[in-house]
Structure 1
């Protein structure tokens, strides 16, 4: 008996920032996932997953639910933060390449960069902070039961911890000096 081994190689190409922006624009015009997939020469499943992953159902003031693309929410929240604290506090910001960050290139007041897929070293401070947070909230632990007081305690602990990137100053001291 002979053993035959057939290898089929499929190459997955992650959606680019441009692809995500196109998906958002086409969704705004009412195109379906099928139509968008055809226009981008992608699988309908890829487009559907992106739309689902990048959207959230929110309730308006009249308790009506509607889908909101997270990119719009992130854009407004970050721009408000930069406006509140001042652009000098944010020389540059580097984001992951996720759909929730697709519109953030429109931010005004700082340089915006997007990390390459599967390149966590391009977001060093973010990865370091994630590691510090994992000391308090282990991976896989639900945050559902974490109270605001617990979150504020962790925030305070991390803000009082010296950081090498700040010449071993604590964030609370560094930003007080800048004020």
Structure 2
């Protein structure tokens, strides 16, 4: 069996579970990894000065080790280089580029070669003469995400919504379309931001600008995006347990879906949504004031994300997969 490196999402989940005092075996079960792999990852990345696990540091250390195995300062030819640079600037990941390049220009290259090309162009933190710094176009995780729900831990009980524990088991398999995850990306100073809805199987995302932080604003956003979907494409919606998502009864009645709440500070239970929010932060980092972002810009980002090829979809795009179910 080929060893699969830990992803940044897995490392963030490890951090949350460590904070939650989960056992090694519990962590391994959640991440579908062996207990020995979890144990090695934690031991390897516990700094002597602090008794804590930091996913950003662990990820950067792992990437650094891989980069040091060998470098090259150029791709095979100009055609490949132009394709790679163009799509990096469209915020495609090296894996997405490597997965799609052969079908589009008849050439092939590995994602590792793309990473080597990017980092071999840098010397002492600056681009080498004649080279462009392409690192800003990679996904970065240099700022730790604050664990959601820590301050809201005691609030879930008053909403009396269904726990994720009651959600149908078929949702976990991703075998069907129509199971969604929802969240809010906050604006600067906790002002109204955007609502994100992500379909678990295809990865299709709906991004809607919010006019306020009250629950009715989130409810209206969900209603507007679900209104024209057929019933077969809106089975369930799993949400964060914040007050902005408290009006689950109205959502169920008007949007035609069944709502469930994730556990407090268990962001991995909405992993698809969390990952997509990270992609959105590539365009709009923390401290963005979404009141200054137009609806047109929001829809442009939505289109960009929905037309990126995904490895788990066989390099199809979320829109391609979702459109088949829509009959078009």
**Structure-2-length-normalised TM-score:** 0.33
Structure 1 residue 20 displacement after superposition: 4.5
Aligned alpha-carbon RMSD (Å): 3.0
Structure 1 residue 161 displacement after superposition: 0.9
The aligned residue for residue 79 of structure 2 is: none
In structure 2, how many angstroms separate the alpha carbons of the residues matched to 1:72 and 1:145?
22
The aligned residue for residue 319 of structure 2 is: 172
- State whether residues 236 and 259 of structure 2, in contact with CA within 8 Å, keep that contact through their aligned partners in structure 1: yes
The aligned residue for residue 86 of structure 2 is: none
In structure 2, how many angstroms separate the alpha carbons of the residues matched to 1:176 and 1:73?
28
Structure 2 portions without partners, runs of 5+: 1-150, 161-189, 191-211
Q: 1:84 to 1:162 in 2, by over 3 A?
A: same
Q: Which protein, 1 or 2, shows the higher relative CO under an 8 Å CA cutoff with sep ≥ 6?
A: 2
Deviations 1:126-161 (A, max 9, x none): 101101101111112222332333223212211111
Q: 1:75 to 1:147 in 2, by over 3 A?
A: closer
The aligned residue for residue 19 of structure 1 is: 158
- State whether residues 74 and 104 of structure 1, in contact with CA within 8 Å, keep that contact through their aligned partners in structure 2: no
The aligned residue for residue 82 of structure 1 is: 226
In structure 1, how many angstroms separate the alpha carbons of the residues matched to 2:277 and 2:309?
16
In structure 1, how many angstroms separate the alpha carbons of the residues matched to 2:291 and 2:272?
26
Structure 1 portions without partners, runs of 5+: 1-11, 22-52, 54-67
Of residues 159, 162, 167 in structure 1, which corresponds to 2:309?
A: 162
- State whether residues 93 and 112 of structure 1, in contact with CA within 8 Å, keep that contact through their aligned partners in structure 2: yes
Of residues 109, 121, 124 in structure 1, which corresponds to 2:271?
A: 124
Q: Aligned pair 1:112/2:259, yes or no? A: yes
- State whether residues 236 and 257 of structure 2, in contact with CA within 8 Å, keep that contact through their aligned partners in structure 1: yes
Q: 1:70 to 1:166 in 2, by over 3 A?
A: farther
3-state SS, counterpart of residue 247 of structure 2: helix
In structure 1, how many angstroms separate the alpha carbons of the residues matched to 2:287 and 2:324?
37
- State whether residues 159 and 171 of structure 1, in contact with CA within 8 Å, keep that contact through their aligned partners in structure 2: yes
Deviations 1:73-94 (A, max 9, x none): 4334434533321221122211
In structure 2, how many angstroms separate the alpha carbons of the residues matched to 1:174 and 1:75?
26
Give the aligned length: 124
Of residues 237, 244, 247 in structure 2, which corresponds to 1:100?
A: 244
The aligned residue for residue 72 of structure 1 is: 216
**Structure-1-length-normalised TM-score:** 0.56
The aligned residue for residue 28 of structure 1 is: none
The aligned residue for residue 288 of structure 2 is: 141
Deviations 1:9-62 (A, max 9, x none): xxx8833334247xxxxxxxxxxxxxxxxxxxxxxxxxxxxxxx9xxxxxxxxx
In structure 1, how many angstroms separate the alpha carbons of the residues matched to 2:278 and 2:271?
11
In structure 2, how many angstroms separate the alpha carbons of the residues matched to 1:13 and 1:150?
31
In structure 2, how many angstroms separate the alpha carbons of the residues matched to 1:141 and 1:112?
29
- State whether residues 71 and 99 of structure 1, in contact with CA within 8 Å, keep that contact through their aligned partners in structure 2: yes
In structure 2, how many angstroms separate the alpha carbons of the residues matched to 1:172 and 1:124?
19
